[in-house]
Chain A
């Protein structure tokens, strides 16, 4: 690495391998799209949207090819598996050869010599292949939907550049082969989320929401980074494949919890959950793609990836904490959702609640259930958000459900697909959500009864608030004041309805055991097929009961109502968490900062520095009185001094 040509080689290395390993295009295509839009086409909205959508489509094709193992990703003849691209070195810094002593001062052996080596690699195992499929295909549909949804928006070019940036970073998270690279892309999805939430930056609420989302994620990432550093400190490596936790490792609990902080931020678990509902200030397709289907699931994905390296059984306390954080978030968010009036916020809280299920499942050492639910949830939640977007456009950007009503007749396709999505989310039998939620509840029943009860109650609440939403928006007649607005509503264009229909299909069928989604993950995590656990009948029966009672109760309460008959301030005010945080920031942190600012200006600078300066200054001034320039004065001074000295020495 010591000659200029080596620099060139370093840059051209990836270019050479591109032909042999086309999976690199998964990262390069979206990145190229960002660059093209930023430098050339950002003013030409139509072209920008095509560039971005085209790159997403190609990534989707690549993901399908990789998933199915078709050429060019087929294994070479005579071999069972195909080698994936060798990792490229991003950063490698270590001590000079042989210079580190193998023991510390107090004699304990060092685990490693302190070399940090970070690569950019491609992990293409069953886990990442499936996640890639979810990310790119849903991403592609949302690109298509956005072309129509963002029509006429003055920042459409910028919007699509950000979407491509998101696709780049999200793909990066999925294929990352080490913690540092995952963190890099983790931060980058945070950035694209920030940019997209703040897309309408001139709206104060959007600008604030973007900032809030970024900072809350940053707090989570603080823990995440610390976890990575500690992990490296213990093992000297950061690559996923390099290590497995051993039972001799006492800090496993702490490290796992710190890494989980990343999930808390990104997947908006309690206590860092408040950014997600606010993130609904962004354009609706963004809410669907980033804040429901993919990015927020990255936290769950990270835990599932971690599960491969770390036997959670070795960090039982941390695993239990994770499960409980998930469970509490699940119930808590469902409670809030029952009292929200903004269609997107209801869906946002429902996302929180569903993420809670997934995190709970990983915490209970059932990542396969978690990934199963992640997959089905991604489909029906994207569907719900896109449906909501269709409604919002039809209502001229009205989001309050009480100002809507009777839209089932006006927008039949939107209604149909939205209803399918809602039923899937509620866990209606024979739809995808039923199967995946059932698996998680079964796991919870097996490991922890309290969590199972929480999960079932949350399922009841889910059925309740989703039915409330569907009844008020689609089935009820609109209130008198809003009849006119509703009267103008009409079905959305095909570019928007098409993705809805396409997403409705997996929302229905993805859960069926015949499709083998669960088995797929199950085989991946537990290759030696473990005997299927006994299925206690009480779990699906209770889940069904929760579903039926939730739906029935919501119908009873909300049929033909034009305003909310239930008022629970604690829920509608989201347990006052935002107020508490606001208080902490404006009454504790900001005054603290201001006090320090005061100390800095008036004590350190004013009193100490300037004080010292003035003292010197006045000392100088005082001394100038002595410097009169008058020879007689000096002579007198000289004589006096002489006398003084004589007196001292001749005493």
Chain B
């Protein structure tokens, strides 16, 4: 059995064990979930560590295949390459951190942690699957517990409405995506076995056959995939669910969704749509350039106007998706590598932001930046971590975000002829960094600096190693890869070169 399958089983088994607990001990679910998450993290880490020395089949490592429905060409096929490796690692890190900050959950802890573990299992499954069917299904598996978490453990006054809206909206996105995938399935040529296939490795070999999906249909399929995953990624104008959803969700759910699950749509674009629908991708470049600028600038300005810290972080997270799209639009090694590095960095940054917002909300009872202030006095640790998070979001060197942005901007500048007016797009997108700095530093200023209002004199910092570890873990991930981005870029780039050579790019 591939270590990937084992990794997938860890959160599933953990969820099962929590389900078997009796309801007596209220701390037990947390402890088991923490142990499971730690194991998952170690497992992901060791896969990353042994990645380079593992046997490689067409660029993929730790492959395992067992046929499932041969008649339809579906099989359980898992494996990782440089593109998915760090998303898997990201899942491991964020899951551990999300469980770590949830020690205080009092309300039905058993169900809460089962949901968390299922989200994590779904994310792991999606990132290791190389069969599009499983890729899709695992993501759906992760979405359902997210809805439940927001609906039942959310902190929003009308959390049911928020959850309903999120559910309907994201399900719509998934459906559109599914339509695109099915179109792709039926239009792609049949394999030697006489069936259509969702197997990404086989599909890659079919790419250069004359029977492959003609360039005239690709734009339509790509359109479906783009809109469907665009909704999931919160591409403008399909973004409005995200800030509200994140603001309403419990911290752990926001961390896992904004940090990990939202990367699924992007991953699908890079893994599937870019290499397998090259002409389709080409035809959407202009529209996508405009939309991504809206993400970066329009949503950035909305974030600037937002006084609610959670909503602000939500908008910021949406806004930063624009950079990843810019890397995808650039479609060269530099841009795509940057996009993947930025996805990793963004996942950690978003998780940090929501975890801190959760702590602040618990301690002060508010997330209104107008009301808060001066908390650095009482919460030095939280202040330092928040400042670092803000700096990372604002593209400060030393954090992986900077390395990602750097590659994205350079890659987008080099692009031709894919990107029309690429000069203007890069200039405007680069200005987004200034916008990010404005709202992030404002948040630091309004929440942590200045005078401490009397009513907050009793607040508590994040104290003790156990409480601090989740934050330190996330920060370490950001800074290690920020100082030595080569750790990320070399596996990513070599995997990208694999299919780029195929396409003659």
Question: Which residues of A are at the interface with B, using a C-beta cutoff of 8 A?
Answer: 1-4, 6-7, 10-11, 89-97, 99, 104-106, 114, 116, 180, 183-185, 187-188, 191, 198, 201-204, 207-208, 210-211, 214-215, 218-219, 222, 225-226, 229-230, 232-233, 589-590, 592-594, 596-597, 600, 604-605, 608-610, 613
**Contacts known (A191-B396, A202-B452, A608-B237); A116 close to B486, Cβ less than 8 A:** no
> Could you show 6 A-B contacts with beta carbons less than 8 Å apart?
A91-B406, A95-B332, A95-B333, A225-B430, A597-B306, A600-B240
* Chain B residues closer than 8 Å to A3, beta-carbon distance: 52-53
* Chain B residues closer than 8 Å to A214, beta-carbon distance: 437, 441
Q: Is the CB of B394 within 8 A of A613?
A: no
* Chain A residues closer than 8 Å to B338, beta-carbon distance: 93
Q: Is the CB of B497 within 8 A of A96?
A: yes
Q: Is the CB of B409 within 8 A of A229?
A: yes
Q: Which of A91, A207, A605 contacts B485 (CB 8 A)?
A: A91
Write the B154-166 contact mask toward A (1 if CB under 8 angstroms, else 0).
0000000000010
Within 8 A of A (CB), among B470-505: 484-487, 489-491, 493-494, 497, 500-501, 504-505
Of chain A, the residue at the smallest CB distance from B436 is A218
Q: Is the CB of B431 within 8 A of A222?
A: yes
Give the distance in Å from the alpha carbon of A590 to the alpha carbon of B438 in the complex: 11
Give the distance in Å from the alpha carbon of A574 to the alpha carbon of B416 in the complex: 47
Q: Is the CB of A4 within 8 A of B306?
A: no
Give the distance in Å from the alpha carbon of A230 to the alpha carbon of B426 in the complex: 11
Distance of A426 from chain B, by nearest CB (Å):
38
* Chain A residues closer than 8 Å to B169, beta-carbon distance: 609
Q: Is the CB of B302 within 8 A of A597?
A: yes
Q: Is the CB of B407 within 8 A of A93?
A: yes
Asked if B26 is at the interface of the complex by the 8 Å CB criterion, the answer is: no
**Contacts known (A208-B445, A597-B305); A202 close to B407, Cβ less than 8 A:** no
Of chain A, the residue at the smallest CB distance from B504 is A99
Within 8 A of A (CB), among B403-430: 403, 406-407, 409-411, 413-414, 416-417, 426-427, 430
Of chain B, the residue at the smallest CB distance from A11 is B484
Asked if B391 is at the interface of the complex by the 8 Å CB criterion, the answer is: yes
**Contacts known (A96-B500, A202-B450, A207-B445); A225 close to B409, Cβ less than 8 A:** yes
Give the distance in Å from the alpha carbon of A600 to the alpha carbon of B450 in the complex: 30
Distance of A402 from chain B, by nearest CB (Å):
28
Of chain B, the residue at the smallest CB distance from A608 is B237
In addition to A97-B497, A99-B500, 14 A-B residue pairs with Cβ atoms within 8 Å of each other are: A94-B334, A95-B332, A95-B505, A114-B411, A188-B397, A202-B374, A207-B450, A211-B442, A215-B437, A218-B433, A225-B409, A597-B301, A605-B240, A608-B237
Q: Is the CB of A226 within 8 A of B427?
A: yes
Of chain B, the residue at the smallest CB distance from A594 is B305
Q: Is the CB of A201 within 8 A of B449?
A: yes
* Chain A residues closer than 8 Å to B53, beta-carbon distance: 2-4
Asked if B152 is at the interface of the complex by the 8 Å CB criterion, the answer is: no
Q: Is the CB of B500 within 8 A of A95?
A: yes
Give the distance in Å from the alpha carbon of A366 to the alpha carbon of B268 in the complex: 55
* Chain A residues closer than 8 Å to B489, beta-carbon distance: 91-93
**Contacts known (A99-B500, A214-B437); A610 close to B430, Cβ less than 8 A:** no
Asked if B3 is at the interface of the complex by the 8 Å CB criterion, the answer is: no
Q: Which of B397, B441, B493 contacts A187 (CB 8 A)?
A: B397
Distance of B178 from chain A, by nearest CB (Å):
19
**Contacts known (A91-B486, A222-B430); A105 close to B416, Cβ less than 8 A:** yes
* Chain B residues closer than 8 Å to A198, beta-carbon distance: 449
Q: Is the CB of B377 within 8 A of A202?
A: yes
Give the distance in Å from the alpha carbon of A604 to the alpha carbon of B240 in the complex: 7
Most buried by A among B305, B416, B505: B305
* Chain A residues closer than 8 Å to B505, beta-carbon distance: 95-96, 99
Q: Is the CB of B441 within 8 A of A211?
A: yes
Contacts between the two chains (Cβ within 8 Å), count: 179
Give the distance in Å from the alpha carbon of A218 to the alpha carbon of B442 in the complex: 14
Distance of B47 from chain A, by nearest CB (Å):
12
Q: Which of A94, A590, A613 contacts B168 (CB 8 A)?
A: A613
Q: Is the CB of A604 within 8 A of B237?
A: yes
Q: Which of B52, B434, B494, B504 contacts A219 (CB 8 A)?
A: B434
Asked if B278 is at the interface of the complex by the 8 Å CB criterion, the answer is: no
Give the distance in Å from the alpha carbon of A97 to the alpha carbon of B486 in the complex: 18
Of chain B, the residue at the smallest CB distance from A108 is B416
Give the distance in Å from the alpha carbon of A596 to the alpha carbon of B406 in the complex: 28
Most buried by B among A91, A208, A233: A91
Q: Is the interface of A mostly helix, strand, loop or mixed?
A: helix
Distance of A275 from chain B, by nearest CB (Å):
13
**Contacts known (A93-B333, A96-B500); A222 close to B433, Cβ less than 8 A:** yes
* Chain A residues closer than 8 Å to B504, beta-carbon distance: 99
**Contacts known (A91-B486, A114-B334); A215 close to B396, Cβ less than 8 A:** no
Distance of B339 from chain A, by nearest CB (Å):
12
Of chain B, the residue at the smallest CB distance from A3 is B52
Give the distance in Å from the alpha carbon of A597 to the alpha carbon of B237 in the complex: 13
Distance of A7 from chain B, by nearest CB (Å):
6
Write the B48-87 contact mask toward A (1 if CB under 8 angstroms, else 0).
0110110000000000000000000000000000000000
Give the distance in Å from the alpha carbon of A92 to the alpha carbon of B334 in the complex: 9
Asked if B272 is at the interface of the complex by the 8 Å CB criterion, the answer is: no
Give the distance in Å from the alpha carbon of A429 to the alpha carbon of B493 in the complex: 62
Give the distance in Å from the alpha carbon of A554 to the alpha carbon of B484 in the complex: 57
**Contacts known (A91-B485, A114-B334, A208-B445); A6 close to B501, Cβ less than 8 A:** no
Asked if B293 is at the interface of the complex by the 8 Å CB criterion, the answer is: no
Q: Is the CB of B305 within 8 A of A92?
A: no
Give the distance in Å from the alpha carbon of A211 to the alpha carbon of B444 in the complex: 9
* Chain B residues closer than 8 Å to A208, beta-carbon distance: 445
**Contacts known (A93-B333, A222-B433, A226-B427); A201 close to B448, Cβ less than 8 A:** yes
Give the distance in Å from the alpha carbon of A187 to the alpha carbon of B395 in the complex: 9
Distance of A404 from chain B, by nearest CB (Å):
28
**Contacts known (A208-B445, A215-B438); A90 close to B430, Cβ less than 8 A:** no
Q: Which of A93, A94, A219, A593 contacts B305 (CB 8 A)?
A: A593
**Contacts known (A104-B416, A218-B394); A90 close to B304, Cβ less than 8 A:** no
Of chain B, the residue at the smallest CB distance from A610 is B165
Q: Is the CB of B301 within 8 A of A596?
A: yes
Of chain B, the residue at the smallest CB distance from A592 is B301
* Chain B residues closer than 8 Å to A92, beta-carbon distance: 486, 489
Q: Is the CB of A593 within 8 A of B445?
A: no
**Contacts known (A4-B52, A219-B434, A608-B237); A229 close to B413, Cβ less than 8 A:** yes
**Contacts known (A116-B407, A187-B396, A188-B397); A90 close to B449, Cβ less than 8 A:** no
Give the distance in Å from the alpha carbon of A295 to the alpha carbon of B494 in the complex: 40
Give the distance in Å from the alpha carbon of A511 to the alpha carbon of B327 in the complex: 52
Of chain A, the residue at the smallest CB distance from B497 is A96
Of chain A, the residue at the smallest CB distance from B337 is A93
* Chain A residues closer than 8 Å to B304, beta-carbon distance: 589-590, 593
Asked if B298 is at the interface of the complex by the 8 Å CB criterion, the answer is: yes
Q: Is the CB of A211 within 8 A of B397?
A: no
* Chain A residues closer than 8 Å to B417, beta-carbon distance: 104-106
Give the distance in Å from the alpha carbon of A600 to the alpha carbon of B294 in the complex: 12
Give the distance in Å from the alpha carbon of A94 to the alpha carbon of B449 in the complex: 43
Give the distance in Å from the alpha carbon of A11 to the alpha carbon of B486 in the complex: 10
Distance of A188 from chain B, by nearest CB (Å):
6
Q: Is the CB of B398 within 8 A of A211?
A: no
* Chain B residues closer than 8 Å to A232, beta-carbon distance: 410, 413
Give the distance in Å from the alpha carbon of A597 to the alpha carbon of B303 in the complex: 8
* Chain B residues closer than 8 Å to A96, beta-carbon distance: 333, 497, 500-501, 505
Within 8 A of A (CB), among B314-364: 332-334, 337-338
* Chain B residues closer than 8 Å to A229, beta-carbon distance: 409-410, 413, 426, 430
Most buried by A among B165, B406, B497: B406
* Chain B residues closer than 8 Å to A105, beta-carbon distance: 416-417
Of chain B, the residue at the smallest CB distance from A220 is B434
* Chain B residues closer than 8 Å to A180, beta-carbon distance: 406
Q: Which of B240, B445, B486 contacts A609 (CB 8 A)?
A: B240
* Chain A residues closer than 8 Å to B500, beta-carbon distance: 95-96, 99
Asked if B33 is at the interface of the complex by the 8 Å CB criterion, the answer is: no
